[in-house]
Structures are given as structure tokens and as C-alpha cells.
Amino acid sequence: MYKILASMAATFLLSLALTPLIRGLALKIGAVDNPNARRVNKVPMPTMGGLAIFIAFNIANFALLRNQYPSDQIWPLFAAEVLIILTGIIDDIYELKPRQKMFGILLASLVVYFAAGIRMTTLTIPFVGTVQLGWLSLPITLLWVAAITNAVNLIDGLDGLACGVAIIALTTSAVTGYFFLNVTNTFVSIMMFTMVAALAGFLPYNFHPAKIYLGDTGSLFIGFMISVFSLYGLKNATFITIIIPVIILGVPITDTVYAILRRKLNNRPISQADKHHLHHRLMQMGLSHTQTVLVIYGIALIFSCISLLYSFSNLWGSLLLTVATLFGLEIFVEVIGLVGDTRQPLLNFIRNLVLKLSGSESKKNK
């Protein structure tokens, strides 16, 4: 245990030391985000910061924690990480098209599926039973990895946002997997804590005012690793093992789902960027850059606390908890206008219901 804790500390310090070096490299090779109408930065900002996280994470895995991981997992996973990192670096320098980025994600996912054997194989549906996924295992696994990776990529819009949310999500996932879900692969929790240490070393340079951005190098890498870590608990998927990572990742998933819905309702391409994401809406409501990030950290912590409740609930309790979470989430989304200022179906229903009830009560009193 002491060796693992020392390794985490070393990972943090390594990331802290590497980030300024990667910043200099990014400036030298032209991996820079220039200001435009969609971005919040006012000056050119070096990107590709995820490379420091990747290097620190893997030095810790191979040099400090090698005996904690099975060889049949760590090498294929490393190969997939390299593919994701290369995709991100190329995008940060040359700006890839969405389909080109997706190709890199799917290629890395195939390595995870076939070489590492990390995949969904069965699905237990409440009141139905266990279903063998068979040939569906491949497309479902690829869809899961692509969805989570892109969800994390989409929230990387403010200084420190994606990095901080990832730290909260990974810490919750590691604690849940190790202490509550009885996951036999304890090395996954160790790997997640190592990733948290690497992210923590990068965060001081990334928090507002940022000195370097994660870039797609970082956001794709973080999202990909979170999706792969979650797959270890989804080999034999159940309602609980699926819902827990979804709730833990409530912030990026909510932002992604409502972005797709918003663009569909406005007859715009799903891949077309806009300035109506969660962080944009909060800033448009008057919050400062730092306040917006801290509010979203708070929302991420709320989702994490909710996810922990599933570990103590039975099936019916979990179903009710899910319904209550979705109800509260929809109200929040409508209040801040994530889909649009005029699209408030649930709030309008509640208002009409209150008016009807108050009208009925007035008639009775007369």
C-alpha cells in the first residue's frame, strides 16, 4: 500500500514537472489554440497538454507499478492509448475533421476489444433476465467507448473544466469499484488513482487563468481511458453496473445528449459546434469563468454522491433514484435553457398543473 501511495505522489510530481516542458514543445511545433468566435481564450494558448498526463501516467504504470498489472492487459491498453494520443496530437496541430477523429477513436477501441479483450459480453435486464450479446458485443462496446470519449471531449471548453470533472469522476469510480462493487480486478482502481494523480499534477497549469490547454490530445485520452476503465465493470453488465458510470459521468453525458437534441430541434448538423453548452449557458447567466467551473465541479460532485447511493439500494430503490435524478436534471436543464430559452415542457406542465390546482381550490373556497 505504501509503495502504491508513493507511486501516486511520484506521478503527481512528474506531471507537475512535465507540463511546462510540454507547453514549450506545443509552442514550438504550433499546437496552439487561436482566439475565434467559438473559443473563450483571448490570446493564443498552447495546447496538447494531455501529452504530459499520458507520459506521467505511463511512466508510473511501467516503472513504478508494473507488478500490479497483468501483462495481457497493460500492453494492448498502452497500444490503444498511443493511437488516441497520436490522433489528439495531429488534431491539435492540423485540426482533423470529426470523422477523422472518430476513425482514430474506433481504431483504438478495436485494439481494446480484440487485443485486450475488454468488452461487454452479457446484459442483465431487470424483470427479463440475462441476455448474451453475441455479435452485438462489438458494436455496443465501440459505441460505449466512442460516446464517453466524445462526451468528455465536448466539455473541454473552459480552463480546468474537463480536467477537474475527470478527477471527480475517476476518484468516485475507483472508490466505488474497489469498495462497493466487489470488482476482482483491483488493478483497475489502482490505474484510475494513478490517472487522478497525473491529472492533479496538470490542473495547476490548466485552471483559470490557464497556461496550457488539454487539447484534443488530453480530452480524447481522458475520455477514452474513462470509457475503458468503466468497461471492466461492464463485462457482465447489469442495470446497476451501467447506471453507476453513467451517473458518475452525468456532466459530460448531459451536455452531450442535450447538445444533440438542441441541434436536432434547430435543424443543425450534430457535429456543428455552438456556444450553448452547459458552461456557455452558465456564463451567459452572469457567472464568471472561475465561478462557472466551480459550479460545474459542484454538479459533478452531486452526481458522484448520487452514484454512491446505488451501492446501497435494491432494484426498486435504484429505479426510483434514477427517476428522481432524471426529473431533477430536466428541471435544471430547462431553467438554464440548455436546449433553448423557450423549450420548457416539464416546467410548463408543472406551472399549468399548479394553476389548475389553485383554480380548483379557489372554486371550493367560494
Q: Are residues 107 and 78 in contact, defined by beta-carbon separation less than 8 angstroms?
A: no
Mean pLDDT throughout 338-345? 84
Among 86-95, 292-301, 347-356, which is the least confidently predicted range?
347-356
Answer yes or no: is pLDDT of 314 > 70: yes
Q: What's the chain's Rg over C-alpha atoms?
A: 21
Mean pLDDT throughout 214-241? 89
Residues 142-155: pLDDT tens digits?
999 999 999 999 89
Helix H, strand E, coil C: the string for the chain is CHHHHHHHHHHHHHHHHHHHHHHHHHHHHCCEECCCCCCCCCCCEECCCHHHHHHHHHHHHHHHCHHHCCHHHHHHHHHHHHHHHHHHHHHHHHCCCHHHHHHHHHHHHHHHHHHCCCCCCEEEECCCEEEECHHHHHHHHHHHHHHHHHHHHHCCCCCCHHHHHHHHHHHHHHHHHHHHCCCCCHHHHHHHHHHHHHHHHHHHHHCCCCCCCCHHHHHHHHHHHHHHHHHHCCCEECHHHHHHHHHHCHHHHHHHHHHHHHHHHCCCCCCCCCCCCHHHHHHHCCCCHHHHHHHHHHHHHHHHHHHHHHCCCCHHHHHHHHHHHHHHHHHHHHHHCCCCCCCCHHHHHHHHHHHHHHHHHHHHHC
Other Cβ atoms closer than 10 A to 129 = 8
How far from 64 is each of 7, 73, 79, 170, 356, CA to CA, in Å? 6, 16, 19, 20, 66
More confident residue, 358 or 192: 192
Mean pLDDT throughout 253-280? 85
Mean pLDDT throughout 102-131? 89
More confident residue, 235 or 267: 267
Comparing CA positions, the residue from 285, 261, 266 lying closest to residue 335 is: 285
272 pLDDT tier (thresholds 50, 70, 90):
confident
What's the length of the chain?
366
Give residue 39's pLDDT: 60
- Calculate the CA 226 to chain-centre distance: 7
Q: Report the predicted TM-score, pTM, of the whole model to 2 decimal places.
A: 0.92
Give residue 176's pLDDT: 84
Q: Distance (Å, rounded) from C-alpha 334 to C-alpha 188? A: 37
Cis peptide bond N-terminal to 76, omega within 30: no
Name the residue ranges covered by the structural domains of the chain: 2-253
Give residue 252's pLDDT: 92
Mean pLDDT throughout 291-309? 94
Give residue 361's pLDDT: 61
Give residue 38's pLDDT: 57
Residues 44-103: pLDDT tens digits?
889 999 999 999 999 999 999 988 898 888 999 999 999 999 999 999 999 899 899 999
Cell numbers at residue 288, please? 464568471
Binding-site residue ranges for Mg(2+): 153, 216
137 pLDDT tier (thresholds 50, 70, 90):
very high
Give residue 334's pLDDT: 92
Give residue 360's pLDDT: 66
Answer yes or no: is pLDDT of 177 > 90: no
Give residue 312's pLDDT: 82
Give residue 322's pLDDT: 93
% of the chain with per-residue pLDDT over 90 = 58
Mean pLDDT throughout 112-118? 93
Q: Tell me the range of 21-35, 235-249, 290-304, 348-362 where mean pLDDT is highest.
A: 290-304
